[in-house]
Structure 1
Amino acid sequence: MAKIRVGRVGEQIKKELSVLIQTEIKDPRVGFITVTGVDVTNDLSLARVYLSIMGDDEQKANTLKALEKAKGFLRSEVGKRIRLRHVPEIEFRFDTSIEYGSRIEKLLHQIQDKDTDR
């Protein structure tokens, strides 16, 4: 039963953070961000937010710094929108699965091109 609640809370946090990042944060360092997932611990004390950020490494670092600075605001807004007794701490992480998947796809296309040349 607890796993179902943790999953629902995680999905709701993902939805609210996506909206908040896109509409409420006015920091120019924040570029195009997609919230790809949220993992919440069983005791709802920590939410790991996985982000996909467009841009080079410098832009990604600047965006992460801006989000770290806005972490308190985001946490308080999530607490207002989702009625929880204790709002989880937010921890931002890069989601590299999209980059990894595109790299694998590129390698597969290279292999396919070599096979068709034979």
Structure 2
Amino acid sequence: MPSRDFKRTDRIGAELRRELGLLVHAAVRDHGLPSVSVSDVEITRDLDWATVWVTALVPEQGLPAVKALNQMGHEIRHALAHSGMRMRRVPELKFKYDDSVDKGERIDRLLREQADAPKPDDDASAV
């Protein structure tokens, strides 16, 4: 019998990520929201709730966009139900801001600043 490397929730989460990416892009375009994209979807084991992680092009606009998406959650869920996904019950959606990209950029900036900083001369400190 073949081994199952992925759980059912992982497969459903990946499909939800693809569909929600399109729906969120349409919501951004149609409602004039700040530019965000879906980075990940985590779904509960009972498939009742899905946490949708989004990233923003401009980090300062991330939280207002998440707030607007949460307010539009019912509308997005309804569109998801009619998008062609074959699910008995579409999970409730909860949008959250994914700040991992922001943290990575901050670490990268700090490392570059550290590399550009003048290094103390070892010979001068020995005197």
Same fold at TM > 0.5? yes
Instruction: Give aligned pairs, total.
Output: 116
Q: TM-score, normalised by structure 1?
A: 0.84
Superimposed CA distance per residue, residues 59-101 of structure 1 (whole angstroms, 9 cap, x where no aligned partner): 3343223212211111112122211111111000000000000
Q: In the alignment, is the contact (CA less than 8 A) between 2:20 and 2:80 conserved in 1?
A: yes
Does the residue aligned with 2:67 lie in a helix, a strand or coil? helix
Q: Distance in 2 between matches of 1:61 and 1:43?
A: 28
Q: Which runs of 5+ in 1 are unaligned?
A: none
**Runs (4+) off by over 2 Å:** 54-57, 59-62, 114-118
The amino acid across from 1:103 in the alignment is R
Q: Distance in 1 between matches of 2:8 and 2:102?
A: 30
Q: C-alpha displacement at 1:108, in angstroms?
A: 0.9
Superimposed CA distance per residue, residues 9-38 of structure 1 (whole angstroms, 9 cap, x where no aligned partner): 11111111111121255212x121110101
Question: Which structure's CA Rg is the greater one?
Answer: 2
C-alpha RMSD of matched pairs (Å): 2.2
Residue of structure 2 in register with 1:94 after alignment: 97
Identity of aligned residues (%): 28
Q: Distance in 2 between matches of 1:108 and 1:56?
A: 20
Higher relative contact order (CA 8 A, sep 6+): 1
Q: Which runs of 5+ in 2 are unaligned?
A: 122-127
